[in-house]
Chains A and B, each alone.
Chain A
Amino acid sequence: MTSFLRCGREALLAEVDDLDAALALYAALRSAALPGVVDLVPAARTVLIKIDPAVTSPAAVREAVAVLPVDTRHRATGGTVEIPVRYDGPDLVEVAERTGLSPDQVVALHTGARWTVAFAGFVPGFGYLTGGDPRLDVPRRDSPRTRIPAGSVALAGRFSGVYPSDSPGGWQLIGSTTQRMWDLDRPEPALLVPGVEVIFKAVDR
């Protein structure tokens, strides 16, 4: 079920039941390319639809979205990215302790899953990855770090993510990659955008 929440004169907020439904609606909205829709912000349970009020109205978009065909089975629509990870993060042992697993098992679960970028946020190029093993559910650190190096591979809640730039952060760091998540020299600077499937691969360096 999609419900529509008013969000001023230049947007409306579509709310759905869960993340899968949000991703499916986002994919449907992207391929529909409705006139006057200028940006889409997918999130955990919502898709914010931003419009140009000179071209369309929240009411018109609402009507168009209500009849949009949405296929909930095909949420990963953006291809697959393989990310090489050196699993040497400062929190790997703590994550293992908190989950009752060995560090090797944490790595096996992290590399064994087919993750999907659910939505972006926090900083440009940061994708929230879902679809991991439920055993890898760890809380954020009690005290966030003031500086996390770019390329750090992290866990928090049921999400995984890779820090695209040096930034503060509270996620548990289990490894690092040399692959660039954000590069303004690429046509699309962010490597991880909603709908992309991600596989992590353990490497020695």
Chain B
Amino acid sequence: MTMTILRTGPLTVIKDEGRPGHAGQGVAPSGAVDRGAYARANALVGNPRGAAALECTLGGLRVRFDEPATVVLTGTDAVLTVDGTRTAVEEVVSVPAGAEVAVTMPRRGLRSYLAVRGGLAVPPVLGSRSTDRLAGIGPPKPAAGDTLPIGPSPAAPSPASPSLTASSAPSASPAASSAGSPSAEGVDGPADPDAPLEVDLGPRAGWFTAAAIETLLSAEFTVSPSSDSVGLRLDGPVLARARTEELPSEGVVRGSVQVPPDGHPIVFQADHPVTGGYPVIAVLTPAAADRAAQARPGARLRFVVAPE
């Protein structure tokens, strides 16, 4: 089976769990920016962990399959339309061959994950099908007209669609047939979007003044328009350093809150570099990093120390 890209919207890339284990070669892990939403998409269509999906920023993606396909969209409140018929949020959809599947513009959130049962079967690079935008490694960014191979359907049935066999037969109605209930695993649907992001202080919290730590944990920061999948740049109060000498570059992780000399923090996202040259004041929990992945430019963020 293949998927043909008709339109990509503002930005669509291929992502999976990334390529850990290559830091010694200067290769960062990359991978899906919102790990939770990506993993949920695969689970909903019965894919094994790590199957490649499309990460679609702000909707606008349109695709078509040459055979009947089982698809789902997660991550935002955007939904799939099938030949113009709207489906529900996180609804597993059986799509007839040749139908046009489109991603609507989300009102909430930024990055949606389109998973297809079977996964995108483009050739992996260093064990991963993720496009690392910073390093330029991985499959090229899909463009309109591209045809992407879909892998064989996994043996396991799709847990979210018990009626899959029946509903995946070519439907008499032109509309999509629906299988499974929306948000079958909807445990981490959009929680309180205004809740502060949980962090652990360190590794270099000691390089900052006590006032800077207090500011980090009390002030409101605004997501700058220059943010991307490498880093979320935050405008707001300046975080002052207690130690001003140069920090030798050191390894960083997704969710690291690095503070350059101008005092404005950057939250590293999935495509972050292997190392950073400025002190990291705190690190977001994985769940908080997933929420940060959905923060749009202009969004206001606050931070709180995570419970142990």
Contact = CB atoms under 8 A, between A and B. Distances in A.
Real complex partners, A and B?
yes
Contacts of B201: 6
A34 interface: no
Contact of B255 (A8, A47, A193): A8
Given A9-B286, A10-B286, A50-B253, A45 B248 contact: yes
Interface string B250-275: 11111110000000000000000111
B25 A42 contact: no
Contacts of B248: 43-46
Interface residues of A, number: 36
B256 A190 contact: no
B275 A43 contact: yes
A184 interface: yes
Contacts of A193: 24-25
A43 B250 contact: yes
B20 A184 contact: no
A6 B281 CA distance: 10
A120 B24 contact: yes
Nearest to A164: B26
Contacts of A53: 286
Contacts, number: 113
Nearest to A52: B20
A48 B250 contact: yes
Nearest to B21: A39
Contacts of B135: 123-124
Interface in A165-180: none
Most chain B CB within a 10 A radius of its CB, from A6, A39, A50: A39
B166 to A, nearest CB: 35
Given A8-B200, A8-B283, A13 B250 contact: yes
B20 A123 contact: no
Majority secondary structure, A binding face = strand
A38 B23 CA distance: 10
Given A48-B252, A189-B126, A9 B200 contact: yes
A188 interface: yes
A96 B86 CA distance: 69
Contacts of A119: 275
A10 B31 CA distance: 15
A124 B137 contact: yes
A203 interface: no
A194 interface: yes
A126 interface: yes
B270 to A, nearest CB: 13
Nearest to A122: B26
Given A7-B283, A127-B26, 13 more contacts: A6-B202, A8-B200, A8-B284, A9-B200, A10-B286, A11-B253, A13-B250, A41-B250, A44-B248, A45-B248, A46-B251, A48-B252, A120-B26
Interface of A: 5-11, 13, 38-48, 50, 53, 119-127, 184, 188-190, 193-194
